[in-house]
Chains A and B, each alone.
Chain A
Amino acid sequence: MKLWRWLWLLVTLGVLVEGFHVALFVVPPDSAQGNVQRIFYYHIPSWAGMGLFFAINLGCSLVYLAVRNRNHGLAMKADSLAVASAEMGVVFCFIGLVTGSLWGRAVWGIWWTWDARLTSTLVLWLIYVAYLLLRRFAAGPQMRTLAAVMAIFGYLDVPLVYMSTRWWRTQHPAPVFGGAPGSGIDPSMMPAVWWNLAGWLMWGIFVASLRYVSEYRTQKAEQAEALKSLEFAPGQTQMAGGRS
């Protein structure tokens, strides 16, 4: 692992430790919910991470479709980053669902309800799990193109998830940030949001970069292997032609 990655990891761990400390021991508890509201400081970064990495996946899928027949090197990089970002997005989405469910159990008394926000988020998670399963089990040269198309259609659910609490009446709380006038949290709680937002996004970038490198290297090796067998094939054809 390169030096800059170790440095990035070191800074990330520092920010995460500080975020943990601020979230649990520095900012005041919520006046209505008490300490269980502190789940919010890990819940929000999960959705931010999901939004970031699914957007990267969308961008990479578009780039892949645009250049796959013209610039094979760039297409391979875009496809590798698409895999890495989809996996990271699925991890963040899953954590968002788990932490939300735990909060719901404590505050609502139920683990789950089929309201628009929760259902559309679960569907989003399933779409990207299906995307990863397609990449894992489908074979053939069209697999990457199919996956890229699926990623574009899958992303259509992201704005739906975001807007669901604005468009429909849901059990899920109204938007905390960017919601109706008077929404938001007390300024004294914001340090916990910022530290954890920064820390978990930095963590996501670190892990996704590792995954990108390994995927790119594997794809490059597979391509070299395929080219080697192609180089061998014309000789065989020639020999067969010579004999006939």
Chain B
Amino acid sequence: MNETPHLSPQEIIDLYKTEFGTGIQDARITERGEGVRKTKGYNVWIRVDRALLKPAINKLINIRFPHLAVIAGNDLGTEIELLYIFSVFYGTKFGEYMVTIGIRLPKTDLTVPTITDLIPGALISEREKQEFFGITVTGIPDGRRLFIPDEFPQGVYPWRKDETGIKPEMVRELWAIGRPKDRPAPPVPEKKPLQEESAAEGKKEKMGGAPE
């Protein structure tokens, strides 16, 4: 199988800019040093329009099939940002880095196309975003609730920061719930603290440690 050779992060950004041009709203590389020797690790951040999401992911698949780590989400007030976090070039030593393709959905139109036809494993992450943010993933094969129990009220989206988020009366404070009252606490009395014995031991040690 002929694969493209290992590309550096800047080369990936150049490829994206030549293909999509103005569709790319923001592209940057962050660099960090890992470990004692500070080997370079890179993160590539690319923000595109919503319509260019699948062409951008297709392009990454043609470069080298990536590993989708997670689809992360964020509530920015008037928009919801979805970050598709991939890692490419697995297998080369110190050659794997993360490529994040981000899109922003306005809260007036919260739809995003599904990528399960390109990457079937994205189903779990897309279901999670659907139930926690209230976005609609068009074309998702299985749109049921995943983590939230079925008795949870329908219009409440836990990760949102606006009025559809978690209301204070839904929050249960576990630290305020004390011990259960119907059980003896503790059922059998504890042993007496060994204060007399340890005092006697202390005296003996002092006597033993006196200069001989």
Q: Do A and B come from one complex?
A: no
* A contact set with B: CB distance below 8 Å: none
* B contact set with A: CB distance below 8 Å: none
